[in-house]
Amino acid sequence: MKGLRKERGSSGFWGEVLKEFKKNKGAVTGFIVFSLIVLVAVLAVFLLDYKTQITKINIPEALQPSSWKHPFGTDQFGRDILNRILYGAHYSLLIGLCAVTISTAIGSMLGIIAGYFGGLVETIIMRTMDVISPIPSVLLAICIASAFGQSLISLMLAVGIVTVPAFARVARASVMSVREEEYIEAAKAIGASDINIIVKHVIPNSLPPILVQATMRVASAIIVGSSLSFLGLGVPAPKPEWGGMLAQGRSFLNTSTNMTLYPGLAIMITVLAINLIGDGVRDAMDPKLKR
Amino acid sequence: MVKEKLVLEINDLVVNYETDNGTVHAVNGINLKLKQKQSVGIVGETGAGKTTTALAILNLIPQPTGIIKNGTIIVDGKNMLTISESDLRMMRGKGVSMIFQDPMTALNPVFTIGEQIAESVRIHEGVSNKDAMQRAIEMLEIVGIDKDRAYDYPHQLSGGMKQRVVIAIALACQAKLLIADEPTTALDVTIQAQVLELIRSYREKYDTAMILITHDLGIVAETCDEVAVMYAGVIVEYGTLEDIFNRTKHPYTEGLFNSLPNIIERRSKLTPIPGMVLDPTILPDGCVFADRCSYVIDTCRTTFQKDIAVSDTHIVRCSRYQEPGFNIKRMIA
């Protein structure tokens, strides 16, 4: 039976999206760069030794400029900046992806429930979101860090929770427009239950805006995560988080620019790559730009 | 005459929509009975309450604005308004199924048409996915679509084919009552004929009762046994095809016929019904049609209109028929 589908060449919605995405050169570039960063991040964790190559203090080699031995130079403790950047990639990626996964899961679920059922449920959920959304992520991170201790997980939670309302709003709006479609009424008319309708009809049709939002949010989550580390609220000090490295380098801006330049570039390239992917996903899923 | 089992019995149904701008009286006390195999056409202009009546039968009036104020709807012995949520879901699709008006929007764009037909089978027959898909493919063949297309998405089909898919979904579980809400409005005339023929042959095979909602009197004449003419939420005239078409009684029905092109006197001008449809937020004391009626007398506006039986099969809601010798002027060609 599956064979039939292939013969007829029906690609479906996701096939179309993939085709549109492939046409977008910027998005493909972004995707390639992002894949490389992910690859590097994973390899660095396995190939570089945390104790000897990342955090070992080696004062004689402190603050060196670029050389063959240290392509990006060394920091004030004589640690190789390239190694630290490579190793630090996984922090940023983890923060970005996990925070967005948390907020997408919670936010979309709340938004879908609010949008589908409406009424009192909607009021309670959406007004709660309104209360959460104005809390600055920095403030929330301070609260979470002081409550659960400073760690990667509390940073993810802080960044994730702050973006929950954004996802709830997008999901709700999307569901509300899908809810009015005649095929939802038709599904009710053949006796489908609410759960069935939400899972089979509402979620697949309201997914595109949520996905676009999620891709875009990964980039901003990385930035927020790095800013929190920069302020000393995120990943604790010896760990080479990019934002934390920037903060360290700040005091050596006049003498050793490498310490701020390369972590800064790393953040910029990662965020740019993800934003390019996000743009590509948005364009590919936007029915108005199609054909 | 042997008393046949009623498939549908609507008693004194009143449906209101509570909006910010006031209460819309969409359906104001209608009665309807339908036997097995029987088909009734509901005709009337936009806003007459036809679709609301249909949705009420499925208990699908949009919440929270729509409120069923009064009445009972009994489908195959079960009161649709009081049965439990799970029984209601069983009745939808298995007891009553509905063909939706616009095939372009009644299909979910992210699933193949086969999956969508199979869904209704799976819900009601409790069969495996594979068997449900098999049934879906059979249904597609019944409605005249090649089985290979079961794995196509709605956007790969033409409008006529989509409407056939919508019909296949409605017919998949062999419901006792089929509600067709303007099934052909979105289609061109040749496809219209095919779709009507399809519904007709299916009904003959399974003895399905049908409510056909339309504003096309031609379609009614072709497919229905009885006709209910609705105006402002009220059935103003009810009777057999013969009664309505050849022994028209109600001034509104007369108006409907006069607005059709006359095939014998081709040069004659169309005579539209003067005025506008009643503001649905205002429910008059007297006749709902009084403002546009050419036979109106003062008592029409003040007395509550009752159903008057003109013959065994023919009911008209016009108080002027209480006067001896009153009749509308419509010429029967």
Domain boundaries, position A142: 73-289
Structural domain contains residue A284: yes
The token pair at B9 is: 């019995």
Amino acid at A182: E
Structural domain contains residue A60: no
Say what the pLDDT of residue A3 is.
Answer: 41
Say what the pLDDT of residue A119 is.
Answer: 87
- Structurally, chain A folds into a number of domains equal to 1
With contact defined as beta carbons under 8 Å apart, do B169 and B116 qualify? yes
Tens of pLDDT, residue by residue over B266-283, are 777 788 888 888 788 888
Structural domain contains residue A141: yes
Say what the pLDDT of residue A114 is.
Answer: 94
**In chain A, whose CA is at the least distance from the CA of B62?**
A185
For A141, A219, A222, A235, B139, the CA distances from A96, given in Å and listed in that order, are 15, 7, 5, 13, 48
B150 neighbourhood in chain A, CB within 8 Å: 4
Strand B234-240, strand B315-316: pairing? antiparallel
CA pair distance B276, B281, nearest whole angstrom? 14
Tens of pLDDT, residue by residue over A47-98, are 988 888 888 888 888 888 888 888 898 888 889 999 999 999 999 999 999 9
B152 neighbourhood in chain A, CB within 8 Å: 8, 10
Structural domain contains residue A40: no
Strand B209-214, strand B234-240: pairing? unpaired
**Between B1 and B78, where is the model more confident?**
B78
Say what the pLDDT of residue A289 is.
Answer: 52
Say what the pLDDT of residue B333 is.
Answer: 46
Nearest CB to B107; choose among A1, A7, A183:
A183
Q: Which of A190, A198, A203, A210 to mutate against chain B (most B CBs within 10 Å)?
A: A190
For range B256-264, the mean pLDDT? 82
Q: What is the pLDDT along chain A (291 residues), one digit of tens a residue?
A: 444 444 444 566 777 788 888 888 999 999 999 999 999 999 999 998 888 888 888 888 888 888 888 889 888 888 999 999 999 999 999 999 999 999 999 999 999 999 999 889 999 999 999 998 888 877 887 788 778 877 888 888 888 888 899 999 999 999 999 988 889 988 988 888 889 999 989 998 888 889 989 998 999 999 988 988 888 888 887 889 999 999 999 889 888 888 999 999 999 999 999 999 999 988 888 765 544
For range B61-68, the mean pLDDT? 84
For chain A, the distance separating the N- and C-terminal CA atoms, rounded to the nearest angstrom, is 30
In CATH, what number is assigned to the domain containing residue A79? 1.10.3720.10
Say what the pLDDT of residue B179 is.
Answer: 92
Strand B39-43, strand B209-214: pairing? parallel
A10 neighbourhood in chain B, CB within 8 Å: 112, 151-153, 156
With contact defined as beta carbons under 8 Å apart, do B95 and B79 qualify? no
With contact defined as beta carbons under 8 Å apart, do B177 and B75 qualify? yes
Structural domain contains residue A177: yes
The minimum CA-CA distance between B85 and chain A, rounded to whole Å, is: 9
CA pair distance B90, A111, nearest whole angstrom? 29
Say what the pLDDT of residue A9 is.
Answer: 47
Nearest CB to A204; choose among B110, B112, B169:
B110
Per-domain residue ranges for chain B?
Answer: 250-333
CA pair distance A168, A103, nearest whole angstrom? 9
Q: Report helix, strand or coil for B77.
A: coil
Nearest CB to B151; choose among A5, A187, A196:
A5
CB contact under 8 A, A182 and B119: no
CB contact under 8 A, A191 and B108: no
* b/e map B67-84, b = 16+ CB within 10 Å: ebeebebbbbeeebbeee
A13 neighbourhood in chain B, CB within 8 Å: 109-110, 153
Residue with the two structure tokens 């009445």: B71
For B23, B86, B253, B290, the CA distances from B279, given in Å and listed in that order, are 11, 37, 20, 13
**Residue A4 sits at the chain B interface (C-beta within 8 Å):** yes
Query: Taking an 8 Å Cβ-Cβ cutoff, which residues of chain B contact chain A?
Result: 58, 60, 64, 88-94, 97-98, 100-102, 105-112, 119-120, 123-124, 133, 148-153, 156, 166, 169-170, 173
A193 neighbourhood in chain B, CB within 8 Å: 89
Which of A212-221, B16-25, B113-122, B261-270 shows the lowest per-residue confidence on average (mean pLDDT)?
A: B261-270
Which residues are CB-neighbours of B206 under 8 A, at least 6 positions away? B174
Q: Please compute Rg for chain A using Cα positions.
A: 23
For range B116-138, the mean pLDDT? 90
Structural domain contains residue A200: yes
With contact defined as beta carbons under 8 Å apart, do B226 and B209 qualify? no
- Smallest CA-to-CA distance from A81 within A70, A93, A68 is with A70
Structural domain contains residue A185: yes
